[in-house]
Structure 1
Amino acid sequence: MNIISTAGFRGSAPGLAAYVGSKHAARGLTRELSLELAPLDIRVLGVAPSYIPTEGNMLAAAAAAAPAPDASTHLMLTSPIGRLGVPDDIARVVLFCASDLSAFMTGSTLLADGGSTV
């Protein structure tokens, strides 16, 4: 299981080339490992959450002089589902990936983003 980011599907913001590049690489690694490990009955999946306002993310955003939390909140509230994601939203997708409910899946990265990449 790889936790990636929606940045692995699109650009993120100016000055984040290394971060975005690493997330694209993580998607590729998920796909390649799924091929290499399939003969061992090991499935490899990724989950790509959008920005979740956790304590760590809020501190990182402040340290990087990112827009104020109110600005990111406004952007998230304009997502198709109209609310911010919470850690439990991501945990549920990870649980699905780790369970037998996803038994016929490997190499995929699931977007957990409230539709923000649509």
Structure 2
Amino acid sequence: MTNQIPAENTLSIEEVQAAFAKSYGGLVGQLTLQNLSLEKQVQSLQSRLSDVEEIAFGLKRDNANLIKSQVTLEAEIAALIKAGPTADQIAAQGKAVIDYEDTETIASFAAANYGKEKAAPVEAA
């Protein structure tokens, strides 16, 4: 006894090929559509990524400029803080000179602002 498939249950080679082509063609079509859809999504994401990279570059540039400005402002503030007591001192000494309250203050103001050789006549007064 041999294992033979009855003739009524067999398909011809042409029928198998046609069924396979129909099934395979449908899958290929689906995969092609999915592939096209994915390619469009990739292009969209690449475009968005380029936009994000441009924005990031601009933000980095702006941040660098802000850091430079901050350093400059900190230096100016430090100079103003350092000059602050000197300005207050000069103002107080100037007031003393105007009010003629204190000859030592007048002499130290003159020495500080005009040099010792010009301050001597003030001390003598």
User: TM-score normalized by structure 2?
Assistant: 0.27
Q: Which has the larger radius of gyration?
A: 2
Point out the structure with the larger helix share: 2
Point out the structure with the larger strand share: 1
User: TM-score normalized by structure 1?
Assistant: 0.28
